[in-house]
Amino acid sequence: MAGQQKTSRKAAGTAAAVRRPRSHRANGGAPRGGAGDDIGLDALVGHAGYAVRRFQLWIFQDFIKTLATVDIRPTQYSVMTVIGANPGLSQMAVAKRLGIERARLVHLLDSLEERDFVSRVPSATDRRSHALHLTARGKTALAQFKRLAAEHERHVAEKIGKENREQLLQILACFT
């Protein structure tokens, strides 16, 4: 029994140590009180890639939530925006410009065609290629999507500050 109590106390002490919040230093920032915030990040705190990825996750979640009523995903929005700004582009040109695998773009275009947002027209200059255009319904939908995307961008500005958002766009411009 005494040995069992010793083991139980030791286990309880270990469990308490696991639950105990880490210091400001070990976590790389002040504790925020959410699940998992007591887990230290060590060198990740200084990695731009980690911070950008976490920000990207927040961005995508907010975009999806803000545009949930119209059921459009960030990549679909990007494809429609590029097609709307450049009617007649080929699938290959859109895929290359947005950094989307061609096979994935075909799937995206299929879903946008099913919703009557995009049409593929045989190219006048290359029989193997299709020119991409927004349909009338696609143009109307894109206008609505852009209004909602502007609301999402306001959320970003609220989260990080208007000046920081603008500075972030300047910093990231070399990747677009």
Predicted local distance difference test score (pLDDT) of residue 6: 46
| Per-residue burial over 64-103, b = 16 or more CB atoms within 10 Å of its CB, e = otherwise | eebbeeeebeeebbbbbbebbeeeebbbeebbeeeebeee
- Mean pLDDT in runs of 10 for the chain (176 residues)? 47 39 41 69 90 94 96 96 96 95 94 97 85 97 97 96 95 91
Predicted local distance difference test score (pLDDT) of residue 97: 96
Predicted local distance difference test score (pLDDT) of residue 32: 53
Mean pLDDT of the chain: 84
Predicted local distance difference test score (pLDDT) of residue 124: 81
| Domains in the chain, CATH or no CATH each | 53-175 (1.10.10.10)
Summarised one tens digit per residue, pLDDT across range 93-104 is: 999 999 999 999
Predicted local distance difference test score (pLDDT) of residue 16: 39
Predicted local distance difference test score (pLDDT) of residue 86: 97
Predicted local distance difference test score (pLDDT) of residue 50: 94
Predicted local distance difference test score (pLDDT) of residue 140: 98
Predicted local distance difference test score (pLDDT) of residue 8: 45
Predicted local distance difference test score (pLDDT) of residue 1: 52
Burial class (CB in 10 A: 0-12, 13-18, 19+), 152: middle
Predicted local distance difference test score (pLDDT) of residue 35: 66
Q: Distance of CA 68 to CAs 47, 63, 74, Å?
A: 32, 8, 11
Predicted local distance difference test score (pLDDT) of residue 60: 95
Give Cβ neighbours of residue 111 (< 8 Å, ≥ 6 apart). Answer: 76
